[in-house]
Amino acid sequence: MKKLFFVILMATALISCGKEGPRGPQGRDGRDGRDGKDGRDGKDGSGVQINTYYFEAFPNQWNKNGEYGSPGYYCFVEKQLKDLTFSVIDQGAILAYIILNDYDNQLPYIEPRYDGGYYIRTIRYDLQEGKIGFIVEDSDFKTLLPPFSNMVKFKVVIISKI
């Protein structure tokens, strides 16, 4: 085993000691990316469009689902998003974030909490054509309504084909 290790070590050392030769000629320029549907050049020629949306959820906008303390109980807020079409949901990508302390935290966001007992808070999202729902659910099914005493911000990034 020691011999094998020594052989590998020596081979690596010999290979890494090679002298760098002269630089070769510059290669050809790459092809331009394809134009988007509206005739504008795509930034990277990938044929995708990226849009970012920001939402604010005020304490009086939150609703509840289910019965407090029972499985399936959570608080939610829905926001209209007309660009959230079936084709985007089916063939695109949607990234959602909650902005806490000036940091974008990707959803689902999970944090341990303590309030007389330990529990887990999960902040997630749900998609429907034309709207997005932001959901706050505590593992003890005792999420207070509203779940935040102040306004919270969410960010949604939609990546779709053009």
pLDDT at 7 (0 to 100): 45
- Give domain limits for the chain: 51-161
pTM: 0.71
Which residue reads 């089916």 in tokens? 90
pLDDT at 60 (0 to 100): 97
Regions in the chain scoring below 50 on pLDDT: 4-7, 9, 11, 13-18, 39, 41-42
Q: What contacts 38, CB < 8 A, 6 or more positions away?
A: 162
pLDDT at 6 (0 to 100): 46
Handedness of CA 124, 136, 131, 98 (dihedral sign): negative
**Which tokens sit at 62?**
């939150």
